[in-house]
Chains A and B, each alone.
Chain A
Amino acid sequence: MQFVIKRVLAAIPVVFLTSVIIFSLMRLLPGDPITVMAGQSQSDASPELLQQLRHQYGFDRPVYVQYGLWVQRALSGDLGYSVYNRLPVWDVLRPRILPTAQIGLTAWILAILVSLPLGAYTAVRMNSWVDWLGTALALIGAAMPYFLTGGLFIYFVAMRGGMLPASGFVSPFVDFWQSVRTTILPALTLTFALIAVLTRQARSSFAETMQLAYIRTARAKGLGEGAVVFRHAAQNAILPVVTILGLQLGSLFSGAVVTETVFAVPGVGRLLVDAILSRDYAVVQAVVLFITLSVVLANLLVDIAYGLLDPRIKQS
């Protein structure tokens, strides 16, 4: 318990620093939401009107004052107002969480289900054709950008094959099967790159474990290869993979930025892109806060899982 509290306290400076960095970086970008809105409507807005709008939303105040106000409000649970969407930020962000979480978690679980057995198998059968194929796939998966993988899926599966919808998202509470259908392609796109990383990690970690003395002992006892790998080796070999799983959550979010745009999924990633382009400061700030908290939380869970998997960690 003490460990959990310590970890939570350690997360506070991370969240704070991230918010300061994002806040200042956003203000360093040229333009503000008013510039964007005036530009988009191509109307002859007078300088007075633009000034009045800037004043109304407080963009004419010094940046540190704006930041102070933001922190004050955020601590009381108010994430501010989205100038571009003309809605409170929470109303903009809230409906975005489900699609991103559903697609991201599906991709994550798929990656575990594929890469652990594949990693273990290729570690045992090194240099077999499965190993070669696995390596090749991992390289392709790591090298293919999301928009290419996504584009290929859309072209072959959705357009040519007509098997799944090419875009959009349906909530499972509205239509469960349609929700599954809209989740598959974006989740596969995300998982492809994740599998590449995880399989390579699992392979080397299993390979290392298989050299250890206790595995030889297990084999000497006359255990079958399956039992040796899955009952004995897995427990050790899985540890580094779990670490990577936690770290990869961040990359799931960065992947979501691309896949959600390609598949027109109304998620957090697409919201972030639109918010940055429209300089919707409060939304960018809230989305980054959300992502930071998610990653911190995921890594906390990883650390707890670590403790459960490896009793030695608890003592240190």
Chain B
Amino acid sequence: MINRRTFLHSATASTLAGFAASPAWAQTAAPAKVTRGGTLTAAIFADPITFDPHLTGNLQGRGAVMAIHDTLFGIDEQGRLAPRLAESWEWSDGGKTMTVKLRQGVKFQDGTAFDAAAVKYNIDRIRDPKTGSLRAGEIRALDKLEVVDASTIRFLLKYPFAAFPFPLTDVAGAIGSPTAFERWGKEYGLHPVGTGPFKLAEYLKDTRTVLERNPTYWREGRPYLDKVILRPIPTDSTRLAELRAGGVQFAEALPLQDIVRLRQAKNLVVSERVGFRWEYFGFNAHAEFPGHSKAFRQAFQWGIDREALHKVAYFGTGSIGFSGILPGSPFFDADYHPFKRDVEKAKRLIGESGLSGPISITGPLQPDPVKQRAAQIFQANAAEIGVQVKIEQVDSAGYRSLLQSGKMPMDLQGWWGYRPDPDQYLAILLHSSGSYARYHGYNDPEMDKLMLAQRSAGSEAERKAIFGKITALMNEDAVYVPWHYSSDFKGLSPKVKGFYHAASGIVAFENMYLEG
């Protein structure tokens, strides 16, 4: 159920920030009056660490990489694939071949030409095990790459895969200069050269990243700003203080507990984007854990109080969720609310679970205040239906290693961040070969069939119908119990214009400018 007010709010924020009905990144019709020049300082949550598109991991690194490099594809405001360095594309051979026409006349920041050979060089670098790129899995479906001519490249896939180009809207599709890769080798991460709107001018780890306007950028007139300075400030309250004191004009990851108060503030614009990530409680279905019983897992679909989780853990931001398909996605079904809290039904399911004696389950938890509140509500809800939940405090690495070991009885803090196509994470969670499915012991042949069907489906409508079935089956199997769609919050000085809040949380600085 999407809360009408949050939707309205995000729309207002985007309007304020110069919304245009064209692809998010494009805004071909520039706003009537734009102030050029100036420096925008943005407070970010963590250091970008590396500007190597094939090695970067965190959101901040991806954002900076994309400002410097540009990607093959973009995402429009309807959540669909849009041209960027790729001008057009065509599917053939039953969804197994994608021929891409590249933009011509584009130059890298070192003056070398962007062409099909450069694209092939980059994709090959991801696939080369020597690179050790974590992106390799995202383009697993790729069999061969053919350079047809300087501005045409053909992707030959191992199997029909409709979602294939979507990772190429992110860092996997960021194209760096082959000359620079050859020159710098492992040190490319500190000397990136792309075709993007900004060049890396200075990088001081944990202090600042200075991006400078690329005067030869292929989009006429962009970027408007001369400079963007990214300042990593890890403490929420300090980031906010800097924004309010005017030390920065833009801040990401605003603390949830302050949102209501900040919206009243005069010298500040709060932008909310629903559909930034979704949350679930996960169960381990391996035989040694209570989660092996389907009825036990299903009990939580009815037993958890999503309303309380939404209001208490998230302070009423975002919206209650019942699926892994995010609002804003073309595959999202706004009318799907299959569960209403029913403690009696949940108790009955626990009774049918075949589990005897006092049922107890342990889940690790990181010291994140939102997830701590959520886990406490979950614990209380579980107690009501006769299940004792033990919470074990761990740090992020501890949680990850427990998850990857396949020995985590339950996941109290499961979440997935926005990806433009649901296949990008649902396959990992639900298809029996996906890593999360393996960690959770999830293996449903019917689900595997649906996942494959969706990949080779011919149209978006067809895929949407199959994703509906996938969601229903995911909830029936209840290895993942979805409960929330969470929002991303950014704070802006009222002087900052041209901001579009993308669901990825990544900021296109090229469209932004400072008023007056």
Contact = CB atoms under 8 A, between A and B. Distances in A.
Interface of A: 29-32, 35-47, 49, 52-53, 56, 84-86, 92, 95, 151, 154-155, 158-159, 162, 165-169, 261-264, 266, 270-271, 274, 277-279
Nearest to B277: A42
A86 B50 contact: yes
B421 to A, nearest CB: 13
A270 B234 contact: yes
A36 B396 contact: yes
B411 to A, nearest CB: 13
Contacts of A86: 49-50, 52, 55, 186, 189
A44 B428 CA distance: 7
A31 B186 CA distance: 25
B455 to A, nearest CB: 15
A155 B505 CA distance: 27
A79 to B, nearest CB: 16
B398 A30 contact: yes
7 contacts: A35-B397, A44-B427, A49-B136, A158-B245, A159-B241, A166-B242, A166-B245
B407 to A, nearest CB: 11
Contacts of A165: 247
Q: Pick from B138, B204, B244, B245 the residue with the most CB of A within 10 Å.
A: B245
Contacts of B404: 35, 38
Nearest to A266: B206
A64 to B, nearest CB: 21
Interface in B411-465: 416-417, 425, 427-428, 434-435
A264 B206 CA distance: 8
Contact of A56 (B58, B132, B398, B428): B132
B207 interface: yes
Interface string B48-60: 0110100111100
Contacts of B204: 95, 266
Nearest 9 CB-CB pairings of A with B: A31-B397, A31-B401, A41-B57, A39-B400, A266-B206, A44-B137, A264-B233, A30-B398, A30-B401
A53 B397 contact: no
Interface residues of B, number: 52
A29 B397 contact: yes
B205 A92 contact: yes
Interface string B120-146: 000000000100101111101000000
Q: Pick from B49, B247, B397 the residue with the most CB of A within 10 Å.
A: B397
Nearest to A154: B241
Nearest to B190: A87
B237 interface: yes
Contacts of B435: 44-47
A223 B395 CA distance: 62
A46 B395 CA distance: 23
A212 to B, nearest CB: 49
B363 interface: no
A263 B398 CA distance: 27
B397 A30 contact: yes
B398 A31 contact: yes
A277 B50 contact: no
Given A30-B402, A43-B138, A264 B234 contact: yes
Interface in B461-514: none
A42 B132 contact: no
B439 to A, nearest CB: 11
B395 to A, nearest CB: 6
B58 to A, nearest CB: 5
Contact of B132 (A49, A84, A274, A279): A49
A95 B397 contact: no
Nearest to A164: B245
Given A44-B435, A168-B231, A264-B233, A36 B400 contact: yes
B235 A45 contact: no
A53 B132 contact: yes
A42 B231 contact: no
Nearest to B429: A44
Contacts of B246: 162
A30 B394 contact: yes
Contacts of B52: 86
Contacts of B416: 42
Contacts of A261: 234-235
B22 interface: no
A67 B400 CA distance: 24
B57 A40 contact: yes
B321 interface: no
B230 to A, nearest CB: 12
B247 A85 contact: no
Q: Pick from B49, B138, B231, B417 the residue with the most CB of A within 10 Å.
A: B49
